[in-house]
Amino acid sequence: MNSEATPPKLAVWKFASCDGCQLSLLDFEQELISLPEQIEVAYFLEATKGTAEGPYDLSLVEGSITTPADRERIREVRRQSRHLVTIGACATSGGIQALRNFADVDDFISLVYAEPGYISTLEDSTAISDNVPVDFELQGCPVDRHQLFEVISAFLNRRRPAIARHSVCVECKRAGNVCVMVAHGTPCLGPVTQAGCGALCPSCDRGCYGCFGPMESPNAPALSRRLADLGVEDTDIVRVYRTFHADREPFKSESIKHEH
């Protein structure tokens, strides 16, 4: 996308989030030090004071939209960006803070803050794609740094990122794990969750808790029936779908379906 004389400009933006996904960028370690030879890091406040004006070739966006000011800011980021890629659960699904979407935000404000008058916030926490068009969404809470590297390389080389959309189950089989649900009756979201983490939880004898969000074609009702067979109560079924990707379909509808 660029001539050799001008390296592509990368910008990293933060909205409501924990900083963990941008931190994944700083976890490249040895690759990180030579980054500026291939890319101009034009805006990345967590790492540098130096900032360059847009437009940017690639904007990575972390975090969800929760305030009126941020709703305006993301529009400006979109205007300034040739490609906009969301990184992580907050930017892609609204994040854990989207749990407010199932409650009255005013109640939340008065629970946490002694002086609620100072809080200016939106009713809902929304994904970036609910606010502006996005070119790619990288899932994960946090994103996997190897997948992040792949996405950056793909956009800078004008190709589609090679990110698998199948379920954690596929990764888990490849890892040679015994199925925690079949063998031990441990509730697991692996069948409906997108791969990318490396089947981390089943690898340590734990059921997947869905932090990579829904896979391409999840059959949540079938999984819910299986969970019920294992003795998982409806209130717990609501909770397992309603955590890090609470506002993302089909997790959202599936959680509502089991609410009494």
Partner 1 sequence: MSTDPEGRTRTIKTDYLARVEGEGAMTVRIRDGAVENVGLEIFEPPRFFEAFLRGRDFREVPDITARICGICPMAYMTSAFNAIEDALGTEVSPGIKELRRLIYCGEWIESHALHVFMLHAPDFLGYESAWTMARDHREMVEAGLKIKKAGNDILRVVGGRAIHPVNVRVGGFFRAPDREQLSALVAQLETARDLAGEAVAWVAGLPFPEFEQDYDFVALHDLDRYAIEDGRLISSSGLDIGPESYEQHFSEHHVEHSTALHSLMDGDRTYFLGPMARYALNHEQLSPLAAEAAAAAGLGPECRNPFKSIIVRAVEILYVLDEALRLISSYDLPQPAAVESEPRASTGYGWSEAPRGMLWHRYRLTGDGSIAEARIVPPTSQNQARIEQDLRAFVEPRVDLDDERLQWECEQAIRNYDPCISCSTHFLDLTVDRK
Interface map 90-109 toward partner 1 (x if CB under 8 A): -----xxx-xx--x-x-xxx
* Matching residue, tokens 């960028």: 25
Q: Name which position in 18, 148, 192, 223 contacts partner 1 (CB under 8 A).
A: 18
227, 192 Cβ separation under 8 angstroms: no
3-state secondary structure (DSSP) of residue 87: strand
Return the residue of 244, 247, 255, 258 that touches partner 1, per CB under 8 A. 244
Kindly list the strands in the beta sheet with 81-87, ordered across the sheet, starting from the edge strand earlier in the chain: 40-44, 9-14, 56-62, 81-87, 136-138
115 binds partner 1 (CB under 8 A): yes
Distance CA 119, CA 141 (A): 26
Residue 19 binds to partner 1 (criterion: CB under 8 A)? yes
Instruction: List the structure tokens of 239.
Output: 């909770």
Query: Among positive and negative, which fits the CA dihedral 101, 103, 106, 107?
Result: negative
Return the bridge partners of 43, or none: 11
**Of 77-85, 89-97, 147-155, 171-179, which segment contacts partner 1 by CB under 8 A?**
89-97
Token digits for 47? Answer: 């790492």
**Dist. CA 3–CA 170, nearest whole Å:** 40
> Contacting partner 1 (CB under 8 A), which of 1, 2, 27, 164?
27
Considering the complex, state which of residue 10 and residue 154 has its C-beta at the smaller distance from partner 1: 10
Q: Does 32 bind partner 1 (CB under 8 A)?
A: yes
Residue 159 C-beta: closest distance to partner 1, Å? 26
259 binds partner 1 per the rule CB under 8 A: no
Q: Give the interface with partner 1 as residue ranges (CB under 8 A).
A: 14-24, 26-27, 29-30, 32-33, 35-36, 41, 45-50, 66-67, 69-70, 73, 95-97, 99-100, 103, 105, 107-109, 111-115, 118-121, 125, 141-142, 197, 200-201, 203-206, 209, 211, 236, 239, 243-244
